[in-house]
């Protein structure tokens, strides 16, 4: 289908054919959902051994009675798990509750209200703002939006954020006090930042406002589908560049064990952790150490965690293959869409022709297939070109995903033809 070369008559014929197919699908009254990146029930079962693993043994190896209050930084054995995932020293890790997003919120709030490591609170700046590589993770943007922190779009490339743009923006605007990064299997593009990008990010601390922080959300650090993809270590790079204070890292076991009942980790320099702990102290007496101990026993060695992630990959791989084969079959030799081939993570990011994404989502919804709202991957929910759609293959069973993808490609074709007709 070469839309640009087609005559009006040709387009009208296509519209008629595609619309007839679409109407037939609507009659099936489907109810399918490929919106959020949740683990499937099969994946959750992999961690059911957590239940009962303590068997009455509540004391951690260091003697801590995990049933009691205390220990703001988390159990040492849980911090070790976080240190292994993020590849950082254990003294620089806090193990928290079940959500890294909560830790991110807390970390942004710390910068906003109190400032990090003796720097001015961000709220005292004229117009504090974060750089947001786009498309990106909607919940990062929601934190900034709620606190009234401005957001500046930066394009994502296949090696990470466009670093020329990042550096130019930071050099000219001292009110830029943060950047959101999902450095491995980025949400939603699946891109892993190149070593050069990591190095350039590590150097930003030299030119930015001293209160500037990189929010390094390594949510998919160990979520490789096949061979391990290497991400350069940002901590090492910042230490070498004498900018160790410029980065705060996050991870969690949300997509490792039970999504709603895992552990989250934050890692940073001792000065940053001191600022964070000051705020956390006012919020909590300490995390759920019983759950931390359950996880530490479940993954007594890092190799067990690796094996566990391999089992996740075996479940996820056919789902990614299903999505990708639908896209290839439908669009390989056309200009109706572009996508990346992710090597891990939870998403496939699809770009329609300009001005079609919202229409695709609407058509799919009418046919009973729920997609992430168009625009959700951009700050303020506004995709300036109305192109990006995030596909989350993990949750539905394979047969449902297969049906949902058939509907998806049909909706992309129909919306593209209609858009072209509109523009003639």
Ligand X SMILES: Cc1ncc(COP(=O)(O)O)c(C=O)c1O
Residue 238 exposed, middle or buried by CB count within 10 Å (0-12, 13-18, 19+): buried
Give yes or no for residue 192 binding ligand X (CB under 6 A). Answer: no
Identify which range of 96-104, 120-128, 146-154, 361-369 contacts ligand X by CB under 6 A: 96-104
How crowded is residue 76: how many other Cβ atoms within 10 Å of its Cβ? 18
Q: In whole angstroms, what is the distance from residue 82 CA to residue 339 CA? A: 32
When the beta carbons of 264 and 410 are compared against ligand X, the nearer one is: 264
Evaluate whether 128 touches 117 at the Cβ level (below 8 Å): no
Of positions 64, 203, 238, 252, contacts ligand X by CB under 6 A: 252
Helix residue ranges, H only, 284-397: 289-298, 302-331, 357-366
Backbone angles phi, psi at 59, to 5 degrees: -85, 135
Of positions 85, 88, 101, 367, contacts ligand X by CB under 6 A? 101
Residue 52 CA to residue 282 CA, distance in Å, equals 32
When binding is defined by CB under 6 A, the residue of 14, 18, 34, 37 that contacts ligand X is 37
Considering the complex, state which of residue 389 and residue 414 has its C-beta at the smaller distance from ligand X.
389
Q: Is 379 in the site for ligand X (CB under 6 A)?
A: no
Kindly state the smallest distance separating residue 417's Cβ from ligand X, in Å. 33
Q: Coil, strand or helix: which one is 315?
A: helix
Q: Specify the 3-state DSSP secondary structure of 65.
A: strand
Q: Which of residues 301-360 bind ligand X (CB under 6 A)?
A: none
Phi, psi of 152 (to 5 degrees): -120, 125
Count of chain residues binding ligand X (CB under 6 A): 12
d(CA 403, CA 370) in angstroms, rounded, equals 12
Q: Which stretch binds ligand X (CB under 6 A): 84-92, 93-101, 196-204, 228-236?
A: 93-101
Return the residue of 182, 237, 360, 401 that touches ligand X, per CB under 6 A: 182
Q: Locate 356 and state its tokens.
A: 């079609």
Q: Which of 264, 356, 360, 407 binds ligand X (CB under 6 A)?
A: 264
Which residue in 110, 209, 254, 292 binds ligand X (CB under 6 A)?
A: 254
**Min CB(266)–ligand X separation in Å:** 11
311 contact partners, CB below 8 Å, separation of at least 6: 46
- Residue 137 engages ligand X in binding (rule: CB under 6 A): yes
Of the candidate residues 99, 159, 194, 334, the single one contacting ligand X (CB under 6 A): 99
Residues that bind ligand X (CB under 6 A): 37, 99-101, 137, 182, 187, 217, 219, 252, 254, 264
């Amino acid at each position: 289908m070469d839309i640009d070369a087609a005559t009006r008559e040709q387009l009208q014929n296509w519209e008629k054919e595609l619309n007839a197919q679409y109407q037939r699908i609507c009659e099936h009254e489907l109810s399918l959902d490929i919106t959020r990146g949740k683990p499937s029930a099969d994946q959750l079962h992999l961690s059911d051994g957590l239940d009962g693993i303590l068997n009455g043994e509540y004391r951690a190896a260091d003697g801590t009675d995990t049933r009691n209050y205390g220990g703001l930084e988390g159990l040492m054995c849980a911090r070790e798990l976080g240190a292994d995932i993020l590849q950082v020293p254990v003294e620089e890790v806090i193990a928290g509750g079940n959500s890294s997003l909560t830790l991110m919120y807390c970390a942004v709030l710390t910068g906003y209200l109190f400032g990090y490591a003796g720097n001015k609170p961000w709220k005292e700046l004229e117009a504090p703002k974060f750089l947001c590589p786009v498309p990106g993770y909607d919940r990062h943007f929601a934190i900034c939006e709620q606190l009234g922190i401005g957001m500046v779009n930066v394009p994502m490339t296949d090696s990470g954020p466009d670093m020329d743009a990042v550096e130019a923006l930071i050099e000219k605007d001292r009110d830029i006090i943060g950047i959101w990064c999902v450095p491995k299997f980025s949400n939603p593009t699946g891109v892993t930042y190149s070593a050069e990008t990591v190095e350039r990010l590590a150097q930003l601390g030299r030119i930015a406002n001293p209160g500037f922080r990189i929010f390094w959300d390594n949510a998919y650090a160990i979520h490789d589908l096949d061979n391990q993809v290497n991400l350069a270590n940002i901590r090492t790079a910042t230490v070498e560049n004498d900018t160790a204070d410029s980065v705060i890292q996050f991870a969690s076991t949300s997509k490792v064990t039970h999504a709603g009942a895992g552990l989250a980790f934050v890692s940073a320099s001792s000065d940053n952790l001191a600022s964070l702990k000051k705020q956390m102290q006012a919020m909590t007496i300490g995390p759920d150490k019983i759950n931390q101990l359950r996880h530490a026993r479940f993954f007594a060695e890092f190799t067990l965690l690796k094996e566990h992630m391999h089992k996740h990959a075996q479940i996820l791989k056919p789902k990614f293959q299903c999505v990708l084969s639908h896209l290839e079959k439908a669009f390989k030799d056309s200009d109706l869409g572009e996508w990346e081939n992710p090597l891990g993570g939870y998403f496939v990011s699809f770009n329609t022709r300009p001005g079609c994404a919202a229409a695709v989502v609407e058509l799919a919804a009418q046919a009973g297939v729920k997609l992430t709202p168009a625009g959700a991957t951009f700050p303020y929910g506004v995709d300036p070109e109305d192109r990006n759609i995030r596909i989350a293959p993990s949750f539905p069973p394979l047969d449902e995903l297969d049906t949902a993808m058939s509907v998806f490609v049909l909706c992309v074709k129909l919306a593209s033809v209609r858009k072209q007709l509109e523009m003639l």
